[in-house]
Each structure stands twice: as structure tokens, then as C-alpha cells.
Structure 1
């Protein structure tokens, strides 16, 4: 099938099955108390934490952190409009680069949490780059489950760092993410399931940059996850990266029942998109949406089998319907007071 014929193959926007939300943890549970199944400590966070970071360290195996009624501020810049003269490191504004950090808590389950970001969204990428993530999981936190997180306007959304392999991220809603919705630059094995990443510069980063890391014997599974890219100012133009920032040493990929939506006709990351397709070991029931009205650039690598393709108005309608279904089917995920469906 030639390129033009492939692009005409659109079909209807699929209706993906969505898992039911997990039951809410008991509000009467007390910190450091075994749960009903005797699987470890339970810690309940509630209220406004503001700019005060919260750190979990050395919890017993299988502990639960219930943050369904807790909210945090994410802020990486000391001024509201960083630029070449005044970078994000200069100014008087308060910062909270890592509101929640989980260290050496194997098998931890983190539920909920609302992270409201104050990361500048209109400034250029480079002067805004003061490293930050709403939720940082690291230092021996193997087999972690993160679910039901709501975060917006962050630098990175959720970051899995050294010795946090075997992670599972599920049922979480991240929007207006200035850099990576999920950063996995340590090239760890893990799963991203039933998530909505709505408006990110980069979707899932699997890029070790200059670090000597090799994830080729690892696998990342992406299932029933919606990723919409959004253009931000980067090096003087409005653009975005690929849904997955893959390199030659990135983990293998399983992508099923998911939608990737590309929003900018000037998007970067065509080589990364090509590497994403090369890294696939399983692909089925997916869609690639080209949202602009401009034609797909000839240099954009078309997806392999397992992906349908829609363009223009059909693609935008498909995304809107899929997003609407996801939001409606996840009432347990926290909302912001100023948020509309």
C-alpha cells in the first residue's frame, strides 16, 4: 500500500474498553497501620500542602499512600516569564520542584493526589528548564503502583528514576505538561495503563541523553492510553516532540488500545517517531491522529500495522470523543475547582 492509500485508511474512531476505577481507600485509616489485607502500612495525606514538599522514605514493603484528599503546588521558576536575561533560576517567587518524592519504598501504592502547577507555559523551553516533576519515584522503589493522579502545568509530570523498575502507572490524568508527561530516562521496565496525557510537549521519555544506560533488555507496555501533543515555544518556534522519545538503547515497546495525537504541522521528533515504530514488539488496536488541517509531511514516518490513521477534522473529532469518554469514566480522579469537562 502506498503512502497516499495508507492515509486514506481511517475507519471510525474506536471505542476502547476502560477499566473501572479502584475503590476509594477507607478515610478512617490511620498512618502506619496495616491495611485490610495485612500488606503493609497505610499513610493518609489530606489537605493543602502548598509549597511544602512531602517525602516518603524506607516504608515497609507494600505500603499504601492515600493522597486522594491531598493537593500540592508544583513550581520550578523563580519568575513568571523566564528568558535569556532572567532564567528560571532568578527571581523571588517560591518554588516547589518536587512536591512528592518516594524513596526506597518497594511495592508502594500511591493513590490520588492533585498537583497544580505554576510552571511557565509561554516562555521558551531552554530558559524555563529548571528540572522538576510533580511526583518523583526513585532509589529502590521497585514495583511501585501510581494511580489516580491528577496533575497540570508541570515541567515533568511523573518521573521514574534510578532503581524504580517494574513500575505501573494507571488511571492518571496529566495535562498542559511543559516537558515530559512521564520521564523514564533510566530506561526501566514498566507499564502505563488507562491514562490521559492531554497537551504535553513530550509524552513518554525513554532517552538517557548522554548517560551510559542501556534499556534494550527492558520492556515498557502502554495500554489504553491517550496522548495528545501540544505545541510550546522551543528554540524560537511553536512545536512539540514525539509522543515517545525513543533512542537506539530504549526499552522495547508494547502499545495496545492507545491513541497518539500530533498537534503541530511543525512538530519535531520524526527520528524519534521512527525509532518508536522500530522498538515495537506488540502493536494492536491503536490510532495515530494528525490533528492539523495541513497535509502530513512526507518525512513523517507512518505507523506500522496495529495503528489506524486519521487526519484533520476527523482526527480532532476522534480525539474529542475519546477524551470525553475517558474523563466521564474516571469520576474518582480529582478535579481542579476551575476545571470544566
Structure 2
């Protein structure tokens, strides 16, 4: 699938519960090996949702103000996210199957999800799941099955290359969930975490990450991405 624009018309002040209950997505697909290329999506519950879609590709995609998962891969497929701008996710990448999905036999533990050359920002949004002092909040970069019991996880393994991540605060799941799912990283190189919250980044990251508090690293990377993708709506 090449190109396209999806601009949600939902009230931007709605909280997580309201948006999650609508259960919509910018694009949902069931075709294995489908490539979603060059689509612009804003103000939806989930950005891209591969369902029965193993070996998916998401490339040159621009997402913003995604009120739940920028990519909901809860059917735990292998896939690729490449050269994409996720400029405002509540949660970035989800691979946490529901009980019904698990009962249907989906198991991604032997599969690989590669995320490369992409920009990923967690954006504080109204009415987060759970209370917050200012009424805003985010989730985490990765929402994974059996985070604390990785040997039993059904989520795919991860490979992370040449990405820039940014967060402004600790997400609602807590400091320990701000990093990479334990024992799920198969390969990794040359990633940057831009941390704008107080103090040090709240959890440990693997050695393939550099942490900076310089907002310009993110801003410059976004400007470069937009300049290289004039055909994708701003």
C-alpha cells in the first residue's frame, strides 16, 4: 500500500479510556508480507495494526497524536519498521497478545521485529491510564507480553538499529518499563535516547544506546526526515 492520509476528527482532549474504547486504527491489514509505505496518520487510537499479517513492512510512515499504540502488533508477527517518523505516541510498539489471541495459537517468540532508521517520541496526552498530577501521561516505548517472565513471552524478539527515541517523563507503567523488554533484544546498534525528564534516564539501557538531554538531537532528526519525505503530508 503506497501513500494515503488518515486524519482522525476525534476531540483531542479525550482521555485514554475514551479513545481505547473506540478501538480504531489508521490502517488495519490481514495480508502477510504487506508493505505500508508513505502513509500519514494523525489522531487515532492505534496508528498501524497488522493483524493476520506476518512479515509486515512499515516504511516512510508519519504518525502523530496516536492515542494508544503507534504500531499494535498484538498478533505478535515478525516485521520491519523502517525510516518512519512516529512523532507522538502514547505507547510506541505493542506486542502483547490478548487472552483470545493467545488461545488462537499465536506465538511470536521465534520471530524478529526489526525497527531501524526511525524516530519515535512518546507524547504526554490527556487522561492517561491511571492518575497523573497534571492530567497528562504516556505509556512506554514497548508493551510486551510477560515483561517480568521473558522465558514465557510470546512477543517477537527485537532488533534495533539507528533509531532516535524521545521521552519527556516516566510513563504510567513506571520507570522499569521505560527501557527494552528484558532478554528480548536479539541485535542492536547506534540508537539514541533523548531524555527530557528530570535527572538520569529512569532505567538502564543496553550499550547500543546513547542517552542525551539535548532536545536539538530530536528536532534536527525530525527536520531531516521531513526534508527527505516531501511526498508524505506534514
1:230 aligns with 2:123: yes
Structure 1 residue 205 corresponds to structure 2 residue 107: no
CA contact (8 A) 2:36 2:58 kept: yes
Mean CA deviation greater in 201-210 or 119-128: 119-128
Moved over 4 A (4+): none
SS at match of 2:70: strand
Displacement, 1:262? 1.1
134 and 266 in structure 1: CA distance in 2 versus 1, 3 angstrom threshold: closer
Aligned pair partner of 2:2 in 111, 123, 126: 111
Which of 159, 176, 185 matches 1:254? 159
Deviation at 1:267? 4.5
In the alignment, does 2:19 pair up with 1:128?
yes
Match of 1:330 in 2: 229
Contact residue 288 and residue 303 of structure 1 kept, 8 A? no
1:276 to 2:181 alignment: yes
User: TM-score, normalized by length of structure 1?
Assistant: 0.61
Q: What is the total number of aligned residue pairs between the two structures?
A: 217
- Structure 1 residues 277 and 258 mapped into 2: Cα distance closer, same or farther (>3 Å)? farther
Deviations 1:134-171 (A, max 9, x none): 11101xx1110110001111111110002x10111101
In 2, Cα distance between equivalents of 1:229 and 1:144: 26
- Paired residues of 1:119 and 1:153 also in contact (CA < 8 A): yes
Distance 2:11 2:176 in 1: 28
Any conservation in 1 of the 2:62–2:85 contact (CA below 8 Å)? Answer: yes
Measured in 2, the distance between the counterparts of 1:215 and 1:266 equals: 25
Which residue is 1:289 aligned to? 194
User: Any stretches of 5+ residues in structure 2 without a counterpart?
Assistant: 146-152
Selected match of 1:144 from 21, 31, 34:
34
Tell me the residue number matched to 2:48: 158
In 1, Cα distance between the equivalents of 2:170 and 2:143?
Answer: 18
Deviations 1:183-238 (A, max 9, x none): 10000010000000001101111111334142111110001010000012213322
Task: Give the C-alpha shift of residue 270 in structure 1.
Answer: 3.8
The 2-side partners of 1:257 and 1:155 are apart by 27
- How far apart are residue 305 of structure 1 and its match? 1.2
**How far did residue 273 of structure 1 move?**
3.9
Kindly indicate whether residue 130 of structure 2 is the aligned counterpart of residue 220 of structure 1: no
Alignment deviations for residues 54-89 of structure 1 (CA, whole Å, 9 cap, x no partner): xxxxxxxxxxxxxxxxxxxxxxxxxxxxxxxxxxxx
Answer with 326-335 or 195-204: which moved more. 326-335
Rounded Cα–Cα distance in structure 2 between residues aligned with 1:266 and 1:144? 32
- Does the CA contact (< 8 Å) of 2:180 and 2:205 recur in 1? no
CA distance in 2, matches of 1:122, 1:268: 21
Which is bigger in relative contact order (C-alpha 8 A, separation at least 6)? 2
Give the equivalent residue in structure 2 for 1:338.
none
CA RMSD of aligned residues (A): 1.7
Unaligned runs of 5+ in 1: 1-109, 336-341
Partner of 1:245: 143
User: Is contact 2:142-2:180 (8 Å) kept?
Assistant: no
Larger radius of gyration: 1
